Structure 1
Amino acid sequence: MAVGVLLLMLIVELGLTLSEDFHGDSISFIKPHKDPDGNIKVAFHHRQNGKNNCVQPSTFTCEECASVINSLVMQTDQDNTGRGRWCQSDRLVLANVLLNASHISLSNTGCCWATNNDMKTNWTAHAHLDLRTRSDTEALNNCPVTTTVSSLRVPQNCFSNIHLLAYDPDGDHVKCYLTADTAVHNISLNENTCTLEKTGHVRDGVYVFEIMLMDFPTQRISLSYANGTSTYWEKADENASPLCKLKLQFLLEILPSLPNCELGHVQPKFLDPTPKHGYVHHATVGDKVILYAKAQAYRATINGFQVSGPHNMKKEFSDDEYGKAELTLTWTPQYSDEYRVSPICFTAETNECQSEMRCVVVMVSKPKSFNDFSHSKDEASTSSFTATGKTVVTCTANQMMVAIERSTLPGVDVNSLSLNDPSCLVTSNATHIIGSMLFSNCGTTIEDKENYIYFKNQIQAVHDPLKIVFRRKAVKIRFSCQFPKRASISSNYNVEKSDYIFSDSRLDSFSYSFDVYTDGNFTNQVQPTAYPVQVEFLQNIYLGLKAETELANVSLFLDSCTATPDNRPDNDDLYDLIKDGCVKDQSLRVTMVDHLSYHLDFQAFRFDGDHDQVYITCKVLMCDVNDPLSRCAMGCLNEQFRRRRRAVGMQTSTQSLTQGPFQFVSKAVPSGTVHHNNSEMKKAEIIQVDARKNDDMDYVDNMKKSDAPMPVSGGTESCRVWMKIKEMLSSNISTLVLGSAYLSVVVSAVVVAYYIEKRNREDQKLLPVS
């Protein structure tokens, strides 16, 4: 009896210990699917964080579901120090929704939170998804994706900001809210960037955070029901419901202070090639995804990386004697991952603390397959060959690879297969026949069609010209890669990593990046979660534009940059920053860093009316640097020069790249607007000056309104003279009185300088390329 009581007490104690392991959870939906009969299938991954035990099953309730299928709980990561401090699991849930349901609501409850300063015990997971068809995507809504690592730790004196992942696949604006019962003294949440910010002293200990993520379309859309009726979602309606709402739960441990907060000292810092927070990686089913991270702490030992990711992701860790450590993540999406948007977060771990948390997104699409098998007769018999197999094509910036399942080509001699160029033979392994080629070799052909460039090749049987009789089966498998000739780097408020691939039939394949930077050093990019980028009048905006290509003798040319109040570059309301290679905005500074990159720096402005956003669209092209007839060699073209010459050299077609939006956080200043007629731009400048100098100021205003083209390589002498005058006029009144005797002499010098500069600009023709 005593033994039984002791055993029961042991079980109860063990059960209580295991029940206090909850560290938080997250829900990530896979794009909902509607079958031809109108039935909607919803799938989502539930990641649960814990301490000692992460494989305890938990069940969601759903009133709108006809059935729910739960997979096994799979542990994805755990503490490798043997202390059992943290772990994470993943479970796939499939739900069949009742016919004509307009939404689905999921909930889950449990006990208990790990010991925390808030004295919280019970927890509740929640998600709500609208199931009506959106008019802008003509599909069901995608929810935001988010997650965290299981154990978030930050030293008390080194805590500034914690960036949480809030990515929406539809490009909707995501807002984050703390739940009503979540309040941590001196820690606030930035709702637009989903960033935890320290506002004062926070005492040591563990805190519970419950955050609701909601997505809101950036434009007016209609939502269609299954019965054919529809309703409208109004952007301007402040009370409009989000299309998706889900809860992110996690613990944050505030550690004792460190003697030094310098990153890389005790607290690990990330090094290249670690991806930036918010980076979006595109993958296809069956293709391996590889992510690298590297960190350093030269006064501590990095003992591993904490990772939140798919359950079948492989993690490899290595370190060296210099305090550096590397992480390699390898994941091959399966067919069940089709259309999945998988969040992956990671931190570098030491015994004392951890690095910042970085999160990336992997968007999985279905494999590109072509059943373009042709059949023909053997030249020595009447037999023919047809096949219906699967061909997976992988396209990168400058090459493509095709993989064909061997089982779909029975009886074919692999050694007899080649690409368009017979000298380029295919390879094979036990399961696949593989062909790999650059866009510039192996007989790859290029087809230019309206908005797309196609690179085409085929696998075919090699024919021996010395033979007139063949007993091999003839085979011809065509495949191609398609690239847009024009793309927008802006994806509403959520800019992914702004790399876009283009190709041109006259040059090779290349890619562009168009990024926003936080300062004039052009080293820190604005994070994707910070969009829209909030700016104030006269604040400087820093943009970086870069091309990447494997060709050595090409140069990037910046032909034009325009501003519009929305992301439509063809909007009638536009303002020219650069036109025909010439600077049109006097606040704009353009620096050609090298042959493939530019830095742009200009003062913020807004359009008049009720517009509070500005998008920047730049048109660029690539040229052969050795071609004197290319557009790059011509540089800045004024009206007269443009009528006389036309670029006929070796260059690509022009591509349009858009960045933004930049959103104003201060009230509109009438004198700081850009007028739609594009005739002038005024800045919100306030200069203290004696009223007697009004005539001189009118003259200077006329100088500012001059639209004579300036090369994008820098400013002009007249602008420098004007800046000197501004400094003089902005000084105190006593200085102005003492200097009034010299003012007429200075103004005369400005007049002379102005007309000399005007003559120089009319003679100027070429834009420097280096």
Structure 2
Amino acid sequence: MFLSRTPSHGDVLHASVGQTLQLYAEAQAQNAQIQGFQVSGPQNVTKEFRSGSDGKAEVTLRWTPKESDANKLVPICFAADTAITQSEMRCVVVTVTHTGALQGRASVTCLPNKMTVALEKASMPDISEEFLSLRDPSCTLTTNGTHIVGTMSFSTCGTKLEDKGDYIVFKNEIHSIVRSNEIIIRRNNVKIDFYCEFPKTISVSNFYNLHQADYIFTESSFGSFGYSFEIYQDGNFTSRVSPDAYPVQVKMMEMIYMGIQAVSELPNVTLFVESCKGTPDNNPDNPMYYDLIKNGCVKDETVKIHPSNQTNFNFEIQAFKFNGNYDQVYIICNVILCEPGNPFSRCAQGCLSEPSRRRRRGLSMETTGHYITQGPLQVVGPAGPSSPAEHKKINAAPKSDTAPEGNFPGVVPEPRSDGETWRFREVFASNITTVVFGSGFVLSLVLLAVVVRYFSRRRRAEDQSFLIEDEFEK
């Protein structure tokens, strides 16, 4: 297998005409010795092979692009060979330009739940942070005068997780951006990769959080800011569910208490929850979802929002599951930070029944919307016995042929534990109704027969009287 210093399959590297590109790869074989590397690429690529101990070996590839390679995408592939086997083929793509991409000098700080990259401004003259972003373009960068800084958690700003054999690696990049209204540009292209890696030889959980609760972003107008998204044990919103308890097991229709907290470098900000939805996985673009909050408006009748300060949002929902073979639910919310007191901000607008009336973001200082996720919630069974008041509340919901708003109307609670009793009552009531209507129908037939008989007798009497009178006259 390839080790951590090896580029990932599909990585894009940058090279310039006349400048030598150097590519390093390292691999390790189990119970065998690597004898060499097979390389596929340009004709003038060279390789330097070195064999190590414990089945390890490494190779250094060097390639100097020619003028004919300019503005091309050149693939380079390689694989490690033993006497009887060959590793997977790994390929990278080299983008060749004349000017080259500025690499700059950067330092990376790796913490248990986030990483920070600091880029020396002196290493990139005439480059402004306004034209730089992380892999996710919604995450821009800030400056402190000497460095351009970006901070993110391991699940935000386009950070990717890769398994590199002996290490777990979290990768991101700083790159230059071109604005849509720019016809020409006169600045160098920037491409700086950075990463944090944690060895597999010890418990990975000691190095980074497996429980996704903290989300950290960077934007030029707001600096670094973040959100924590937690599940709480009760409505006091003080005791968090332990990360060891995930996935959190809940019973159908049990109340779930959740809270979002915002933290910002700015002293005074307001948190706004634009939307929350349930999905069967942690993909915010999953077409199967159920709206809980949409456009700032509560859409599910079990959602209850609890009072809190301007940087907290505490709420509760009733547990549910999706129809089909799904036993887990993730809650995904889209959140925004605004400057308080600005009547033009999205936070000040609140619930929008008509999203087209939303004011433009440029009129106020606010962040872009960022998705944060909590879960999974694992539905393990029906709800336990409830009080008569709760039973009345659950069954008092008006019936409707229209499903709740959302792409998949099949989000339904399972029957309660006293469902058989309730079903018996419905059947019993239905039988009584049938007997009443049947009796009424029979009574109507009897009355109709009496009326018909009465008029028949009267008609015959009139006919006889008429015949007697006619005979008498004759």
Q: TM-score, normalised by structure 1?
A: 0.31
> By percentage of residues, which structure has more helix?
2
Per chain length, whose mean CA-contact separation is higher, i.e. which structure has more relative contact order (CA < 8 Å, sep 6+)? 2
- Choose 1 or 2 for highest CA Rg: 2
